[in-house]
Structure 1
Amino acid sequence: MKRSPKPLPIALLALILPSPASIHAQTRRTPTQSSHHQGATMPATPQETVIRRYYEECLNQNHLELIPEIFTPDIVFHAPTGDASGYAGVRQASDRVRALFPDHHFVVEDIVINGDKGAARWSMTATNTAPIAGVPPTGKPITNSAVIFYRFRDGKIAESWLQMDQVGIFRQIGVPLPGAQSAPAAH
């Protein structure tokens, strides 16, 4: 007859399992810490710092004079709406975000760095106060999310590829999409 193993005494489990406080301490991050490994914090890499500066200082705080510190002069920015290049292209893309969403706020959710390549996942909250793709402004709050890949050269962003949830924005402002379920009505 096979016997089932005895359960471990609670006191022994307390020694083996981490406490909730220690789990929280392991997963907390500050803007200068990286999320390279789940549950671990590592010092920010120079590339991660550059990415965070772009979103926090350039976009959120509108310090576009920092563009030359963050991007190479020949930056190529690939986006679903078309490519832009050079400092002027980055400035135009940044100005376009501000024009479409004057109250925007970006939060960088994750960053992964591998050599001269990097990737970030961000979210942006804003209010739809300008026409988007010919749709009049609705005044509705929106949340957008995206992933963007980077190539670095000499410590600056030299190229990027943006993929964002444009369909999600259209759904949030009430654009009917063929074959898609309509967005739930706000209460």
Structure 2
Amino acid sequence: MKIDAFRLKSLPIAFSVAIGALALNSAAQQPAAHSMQGGGQMSNVDAHAATIHRLYEECLNQGRTDLLPELVTANVVNHTGSNEQRGLAAFEQGMQQVRAMYPDRHFTVDDVLANGDKGAARWTMVATNTVPILGVAPTGRQLTNHGVVFYRFEGVKIAEVWIQVDQLGVLRQIGVQIPGLPAKAGAER
């Protein structure tokens, strides 16, 4: 199947929001100890990294969206390319869309960086393609996707999110022919 640039731009918001919604390492892969400041309190940098880890492991992987108010501000802004969602309800809806699109998804955080009121994560998601993407029927095959997410914090809560996801990689895995790129090996339908 071939796809034009216009259709590529209109990739469902659920895909962009959901995938980017946030992804990090499981609690078992978190650093064993956080550096402490002064009176034994966790530094902001360590608290930000811990917030990111909880968001991905507990909310995205385990589906515990009830924990979002502990991790995200009420007026969180989620920037996804040309789209922007505001507020906790929209953020939670994005996560629910990811769960619906990829019920068996699992995020692994490959890297987490934090500095001042900013943080970043590079992640890998593995999931089975069980719903149509851009009108392409589900393949039933396992997909692997990669993304980078940048965060801004207010206190220890996430206040803003900027997401970059490898959408072309997913499209190629489901057999979409991208103009100017060779066909992906193993993507035949």
TM bucket normalised to smaller: 0.7 to 0.9
Q: Which residue of 1 aligns with 2:147?
A: 146
Larger Cα-atom Rg? 1
Please tell me whether the aligned partners of residues 100 and 132 of structure 1 are also in contact (alpha carbons under 8 angstroms).
no
Aligned length: 151
- Alignment deviations for residues 59-108 of structure 1 (CA, whole Å, 9 cap, x no partner): 10000000100100000011137221111111111011111111000001
Please tell me whether the aligned partners of residues 32 and 49 of structure 1 are also in contact (alpha carbons under 8 angstroms).
no
Following the alignment from structure 1 to structure 2, what is the Cα–Cα distance between the partners of residues 181 and 137? 21
Give the drift of 1:33: 4.9
Following the alignment from structure 2 to structure 1, what is the Cα–Cα distance between the partners of residues 82 and 99? 16
Q: Which residue of 2 aligns with 1:166?
A: 167
Task: Give the stretch that moved more between structures: 111-120 or 82-91.
Answer: 82-91
- TM-score, normalised on structure 2? 0.75
Q: Give 2:108's aligned amino acid.
A: V
Please tell me whether the aligned partners of residues 173 and 187 of structure 2 are also in contact (alpha carbons under 8 angstroms).
no
Q: Which residue of 2 aligns with 1:16?
A: none
Which of 1 and 2 has higher RCO (CA within 8 Å, sep 6+)? 2
1:103 and 2:104 equivalent?
yes
Following the alignment from structure 2 to structure 1, what is the Cα–Cα distance between the partners of residues 134 and 157? 32
Give the drift of 1:158: 0.1
Give the drift of 1:30: 3.8
Give the drift of 1:172: 0.5
* 4+ long deviations beyond 4 Å: none
Identity level (%): 48
Q: Which residue of 2 aligns with 1:118?
A: 119
- Alignment deviations for residues 106-127 of structure 1 (CA, whole Å, 9 cap, x no partner): 0011011110001100000000
Following the alignment from structure 1 to structure 2, what is the Cα–Cα distance between the partners of residues 47 and 69? 12
* Structure 2 gap ranges (5+): 1-27, 34-42
* Structure 1 gap ranges (5+): 1-28, 35-42
Following the alignment from structure 2 to structure 1, what is the Cα–Cα distance between the partners of residues 29 and 96? 28
Please tell me whether the aligned partners of residues 172 and 187 of structure 2 are also in contact (alpha carbons under 8 angstroms).
no
Please tell me whether the aligned partners of residues 175 and 187 of structure 2 are also in contact (alpha carbons under 8 angstroms).
no
Give the drift of 1:181: 0.9
- Alpha-carbon RMSD across the aligned residues, in angstroms, is 2.0
Q: Give 2:84's aligned amino acid.
A: D
Following the alignment from structure 1 to structure 2, what is the Cα–Cα distance between the partners of residues 50 and 131? 32
What SS does the aligned partner of 2:83 have?
coil
